Amino acid sequence: MTARKIIIDTDPGQDDAVAILLALASPQEIDVLGITCVAGNVPLSRTETNARMICEVAARPQTKVFAGRSSPLQRPLVTAEHVHGKTGLDGPDLFEPAMPLQSQNGVDFIIETLRAEPAGSVTLCPLGPLSNIGEAFQRAPDIIDRVQEIILMGGAYFEVGNITPAAEFNIYVDPEAADIVLKSGTPITMMPLDVTHKALTTPPRIAAIRALNSRVGDFTADMLDFFERFDIEKYGSEGGPLHDPCVIAYLIQPELFSGRHINVEVETQSDLTLGMTVADWWGVTDRPANALFIGDLDADGFFDLITKRLARL
């Protein structure tokens, strides 16, 4: 099996961090061409620092990390320190990473990579607001047809919203960018809250990660201990939803997931429902399908995969 070439576009974020660790632990299946950071959970200066920190925790300091957009395409930035803490990675003992930030802008890297690599050979994995991808598609429409697939975390239908009653955070922060992506015609797989809210960090699952008895295991368990407190309080759930690693797990073991090819559109106008993903799950319109909208996963298989892969780092 040849490793699939991906660009991770991210705003770490504890769950983004686990997604990055999972990808870096899986070189047989995944070739991380670069990590492009975007403002989201916390401002850009923190997301790019956090991404570099995670690469060092994974002992992969040669990974290329880029800074992209510091704001959404048309709106002021909304952040989520109330979920992720002031640093975005609250929980473990944090440190200043030594590995460099690449000097090239993250959006330029996305454009140049898609132009340089063979058409249809690079998959984009957005784990945050879609601002970098939106700008890349706007500035360089020639790259759209060259993307193999976009596998993103964002949106919700049955679970409706987490940042507002109607919208999921990543889509809400930059609905115009999400709209560009959803209308681009690129093959898209979406991991909405409908599936990520079934990927819960229960105490035995975190304990299995801590039992790895390694730097990566402790760092991850410390992040997840912090991360889950917010959702346990909010939803009364057993643990926190591990959103972003669903994207990477899908690349490695797609059979863990199931969904439907449907039409998904984003609300960009209404104040009340801004960023809502209107997903035609029941096929009640004749709007053409533009995304594989994932609805379910094998949660035990998912956490097993994460734990086994983290053990490799």
Structure tokens at 80: 């989520």
CA dist., res. 65 & res. 74, Å (int): 25
Shortest Å distance, C-beta 39 to Ca ion: 11
Residue 237 vs residues 81, 193, 241, 252: alpha-carbon distances, Å: 20, 14, 9, 27
Per-residue contact string for residues 125-144; x = within reach of ligand BDR by CB under 6 A = --xx----------------
| 197 in active site | no
Angle, nearest 10°, between helix axes 203-210 and 215-235? 170
Single residue of 4, 6, 15, 114 touching ligand BDR by CB under 6 A = 15
Q: Count CB neighbours of 253 within 10 A.
A: 16
Binds 194: which of Ca ion, ligand BDR, none (CB < 5-8 Å by kind): none
For residue 295, which phi and psi values (nearest 5 degrees)?
-120, -20
Instruction: Choose the stretch contacting ligand BDR; rule: CB under 6 A; options: 117-125, 162-170, 266-274, 281-289.
Output: 162-170
Contact 227, 220 (CB under 8 A): no
For residue 26, which phi and psi values (nearest 5 degrees)?
-125, 55
Cβ nearer to Ca ion, comparing 11 with 231? 11
Tell me if 13 contacts Ca ion by CB under 5 A: yes
Per-residue contact string for residues 241-280; x = within reach of Ca ion by CB under 5 A = ---x------------------------------------
Tell me if 220 contacts ligand BDR by CB under 6 A: no
Cβ nearer to ligand BDR, comparing 26 with 79? 79
Strands 291-297 and 257-262: antiparallel
Nearest residue to 199 (alpha-carbon basis) of 240, 152, 255, 168? 240
Single residue of 18, 51, 77, 153 touching ligand BDR by CB under 6 A = 153
* DSSP string over 239-297: S-B--THHHHHHHH-GGGEEEEEE-EEE--S-TTTTT-EEE-TT--S-PPP-EEEEEEE
Single residue of 9, 168, 194, 222 touching ligand BDR by CB under 6 A = 168
Single residue of 54, 127, 151, 167 touching Ca ion by CB under 5 A = 127
Contact 155, 193 (CB under 8 A): yes
Binds 179: which of Ca ion, ligand BDR, none (CB < 5-8 Å by kind): none
Instruction: Choose the stretch contacting ligand BDR; rule: CB under 6 A; options: 68-76, 107-115, 168-176, 256-264.
Output: 168-176
Shortest Å distance, C-beta 126 to ligand BDR: 9
Q: Which residues pair with 277 in a beta bridge?
A: 266
81: exposed, middle or buried (Cβ count in 10 Å: 0-12, 13-18, 19+) = middle
Structure tokens at 87: 């640093």
Q: How many helices (H) and strands (E) does the chain have?
A: 12, 10
Cβ nearer to ligand BDR, comparing 168 with 228? 168
Tell me if 240 contacts Ca ion by CB under 5 A: no
Single residue of 109, 157, 169, 293 touching ligand BDR by CB under 6 A = 169
Instruction: Choose the stretch contacting Ca ion; rule: CB under 5 A; options: 45-53, 56-64, 238-246, 292-300.
Output: 238-246
Tell me if 17 contacts ligand BDR by CB under 6 A: no
Which of the residues are catalytic? Answer: 243
Q: Which residues bind Ca ion (CB under 5 A)?
A: 11, 13, 16, 127-128, 244
Q: Which residues bind ligand BDR (CB under 6 A)?
A: 13, 15-16, 41, 80, 83, 127-128, 153, 162, 168-170, 243-244
